[in-house]
Amino acid sequence: MATIQDVAREAGVSISTVSYALSGKRSIKPSTRDRVLDAASRLGYLPHASARMLAANRSQIFAVTAPLHTDTDHSAHMVFAMEVTKAARTHGYDTLLLVDDDVSEGMRRSAASSLADGIVVLDVDAHDPRADLARSMTYPTVFIGIPADTTGLVCVDLDFEAAARLAIDTLVSAGRQRIGLVSHPLETMQRESNFPLRFRDGFAAHAAELGLEAPVAYPVEHRAHEAVAQLLAAQPDLDGLVLNTSVDVASSVTAALAEHGRSVPQDVAVIAAGVTFSTERFAVPFDTIPLDARASCSVAVDILARIVDDNLTAPETTLIPPTYITRGSVSPTGAAVTTGT
């Protein structure tokens, strides 16, 4: 492996000149710098990471602010953090995870110290203090999630309103007219976690457009039983169910319905919409409209890299269209359901 001494000898300069050329700490003649870089390239010399970063005036790090709350879905939380990291590596960046209780502190520290070249914001609330902070800083920032006020922000997310419409329209097309929603726990809604709010409000708005009564229930104790009971009390002839909730709650829906003598999909058609998990291994797999963390994170990191590397201005909000995965949990009303052997 080539050393800095080898590069100096090849370029005909001193070791300190090689160091200055690679680190950018001091100004040297362009011709000398070019000679050093050519020699380093021919020899395959890899300078210390800090020297490369100084030369480019970059840290080659993206900070990821992802606060932990008492109601945080840790599996979904880590999926997004990991997908941001994987996407960042494709652009030559590492990631630094910020989980401060004060959600703005990590952002301030990163910006003030140039600890990172840009920031990705996860777990966005409707009135997130990080939105105002991002607007006040001249620091590349991309939100994966959409706060209530997106003025001056760059945001990427699934189109949750469109996902809610797709779920309802699919159930209606199958002849289901009495549809309910199992949402996230009240604690999450009261915190104003933005995507459950957007999905719920989109669900309610589209149901109203179609003239449907569409009650919403909020689970407790990480299971669906109480929420399903509430929906059946509000709408005893419930025949369609949309789940925008956690994996623990969704996986208990079949058992909760069975307690009331209902089966999927014969009695109740079920769609899990805007969710990060697969239902493939559930007792009864549900049709799914996925919240694809890879899609959201790759788009967001690509935008951030272009802002940082190319000084490009990004669109204010990028909405990713929903897709539908069929697993057999939605059948036309009255249709016979066959199972494989």
Report the DSSP beta bridge partners of residue 273: 289
Q: Are 215 and 277 in contact (CB under 8 A)?
A: no
Residue 340 lies in a domain: no
* 19 and 65 assigned to the same domain: no
Residue 166 lies in a domain: yes
* 221 and 78 assigned to the same domain: no
How many structural domains compose the chain?
A: 3
Q: Are 115 and 64 in contact (CB under 8 A)?
A: no
Q: Which two tokens stand for residue 278?
A: 């697969």
Residue 11 lies in a domain: yes
Total residues belonging to the chain: 341
Averaged pLDDT for residues 132-147: 92
Residue 335 lies in a domain: no
**Residues 22, 26, 28, CA angle at the centre, nearest 5°?**
80
Taking alpha carbons only, the member of 55, 56, 57 closest to residue 18 is: 55
Expressed as residue numbers, the domain containing 136 is: 61-158+293-320
Distance (Å, whole) CA 331 – CA 240: 10
Report the DSSP beta bridge partners of residue 319: 157
Residue 326 lies in a domain: no
pLDDT band at 19, cuts 50/70/90?
A: confident
Q: What CA–CA distances, in Å, run from 172 to 106, 166, 274?
A: 46, 10, 18
Three-class SS of residue 298? helix
* 211 and 115 assigned to the same domain: no
CATH of the domain at 41: 1.10.260.40
CA gyration radius, the chain: 26
Residue 82 lies in a domain: yes
CATH of the domain at 97: 3.40.50.2300
Q: Which two tokens stand for residue 6?
A: 């080898």
Distance (Å, whole) CA 82 – CA 88: 10
Query: Within 10 A of 199 (CB to CB), how many other CB atoms are there?
Result: 27
Distance (Å, whole) CA 318 – CA 213: 31
pLDDT at 304 over 60: yes
* 176 and 271 assigned to the same domain: yes
Averaged pLDDT for residues 138-146: 93
- Give kind and range of the element (H or E) at residue 52: helix 49-56
For the four alpha carbons of 307, 310, 313 and 318, in that order, the dihedral sign comes to negative
Q: What is the pLDDT of residues 273-293, one digit of tens each?
A: 999 999 999 999 999 999 999
pLDDT at 102 over 80: no
The HSE-up count of residue 105 (CA atoms within 13 Å, CB side) is 6
What does pTM read for this prediction?
Answer: 0.80
pLDDT at 67 over 60: yes
Greater model confidence, 338 or 251? 251
Q: What is the pLDDT of residues 184-207, one digit of tens each?
A: 999 999 999 999 999 999 999 999
Q: What is the pLDDT of residues 178-187, one digit of tens each?
A: 999 999 999 9
pLDDT attached to residue 58: 66
Q: What is the pLDDT of residues 316-334, one digit of tens each?
A: 899 999 999 999 999 997 6
Residue 189 lies in a domain: yes
* 219 and 191 assigned to the same domain: yes
Burial 284-293 (b: 16+ CB within 10 A, else e): bbbbbbbbeb
Burial 86-116 (b: 16+ CB within 10 A, else e): ebbeeeebebbebeeeebbebbbebbeeeeb
Q: Which residues contact 5 (CB under 8 A, 6 or more apart)?
A: 15
* 44 and 88 assigned to the same domain: no
* 284 and 310 assigned to the same domain: no
Residue 145 lies in a domain: yes
Q: Are 45 and 4 in contact (CB under 8 A)?
A: yes
Q: What is the mean pLDDT of the chain?
A: 88
